[in-house]
Amino acid sequence: MRRQKPLILTNPIEKPKTGLEWFKKNIVIVPVIAVILAGTFTSVRYVLNLTNTIDANQETIVNMKRDVDVIKGQFNDLRNRLSAAEATWNMAENLYRQLADQVREQSYDIKDLSR
């Protein structure tokens, strides 16, 4: 049987002595980290802007609902006033018809008296 190699790394890992040496060894990872940080910052800023927009729109919606309620009240008032005006108009037409009938009857009576 063959002997398996151990799973644990036995090679010594050297630590870079200065930041410049670490930067040279990890030249590829530095831009990746920078992009991840910039993306995270941009994402957080975007979410905050969306939250502010949602809050402003919610306030606008509440104001619009209040305005709609006021307009509904005014509309109901106008509808009631229109109904009263229509009732007055109908009453005036009925009075006009009655007066016209009375005048017509009186004209017939005058004609009858003049014969």
What is the band of 21 on the pLDDT scale with cuts at 50, 70, 90?
confident
Please count the other Cβ atoms lying within 10 Å of the Cβ belonging to residue 22.
14
Three-class secondary structure of residue 19 per DSSP: helix
- Amino acid at residue number 114: S
93, pLDDT greater than 90: yes
Can you give the residue ranges of every domain in the chain? 19-110
The better pLDDT of the pair 69, 3 is held by 69
- What DSSP assignment string belongs to 31-56? HHHHHHHHHHHHHHHHHHHHHHHHHH
Give the model's pLDDT for residue 27: 80
Q: What is the pLDDT of residues 31-64, one digit of tens each?
A: 888 899 999 999 999 999 999 999 999 999 999 9
Give the model's pLDDT for residue 4: 73
Closest Cα partner for 93 from 104, 101, 83, 82? 101
What rounded mean pLDDT belongs to the chain?
A: 87
CA dihedral 18, 24, 27, 31 (to 10 degrees): 40
**Residue 66 to residues 21, 43, 56, 62, 63, Cα–Cα distance (Å):** 66, 35, 16, 6, 5
83, pLDDT greater than 80: yes
Q: What is the pTM of this model?
A: 0.49
